[in-house]
């Protein structure tokens, strides 16, 4: 399991420590990965249109094939949803 975000390494380290994350966070500051996975979207922020990353979870198997996509992730209940999807 890994996490990917467009935050800087410093912000990622702070986030990882704050939430005691047991997995690595990968930096996508230039948003190349976000573009490739189709999660770089136009958003409306305070009435202004900006390009941002839509929170999305991808379950990817050992061969690199995407098994399931969870778009527009909301934190509450998401862990349970992902764990349920991992069950055979």
The per-residue pLDDT for range 35-69, each reduced to its tens digit, is: 999 999 999 989 999 999 999 999 999 999 999 99
Rounded to whole angstroms, the Cα distance separating 66 from 58 reads: 7
- Count Cα neighbours of 81 within 13 Å in the Cβ-side half-sphere: 14
Largest CA distance in the chain: 44
Of the chain, the percentage scoring pLDDT greater than 90 comes to: 72
Sign for the CA dihedral angle at 3, 56, 38, 13 comes to: negative
The residue that leads in pLDDT, 88 or 36, is 36
Rounded to whole angstroms, the Cα distance separating 34 from 24 reads: 17
- Which of the four pLDDT bands, split at 50, 70 and 90, describes residue 21? confident
Mean per-residue pLDDT of the chain = 92
């Amino acid at each position: 399991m890994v996490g990917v975000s467009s935050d800087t390494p410093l912000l990622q380290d702070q986030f990882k420590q704050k939430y005691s994350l047991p997995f690595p966070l990968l930096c996508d500051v230039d948003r190349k990965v976000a573009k490739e996975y189709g999660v770089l979207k136009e958003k409306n922020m305070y009435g202004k249109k900006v390009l941002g990353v839509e929170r999305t979870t991808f379950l990817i198997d050992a061969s690199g094939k995407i098994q399931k996509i969870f778009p527009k992730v909301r934190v509450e209940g998401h862990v349970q949803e992902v764990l349920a999807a991992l069950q055979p």
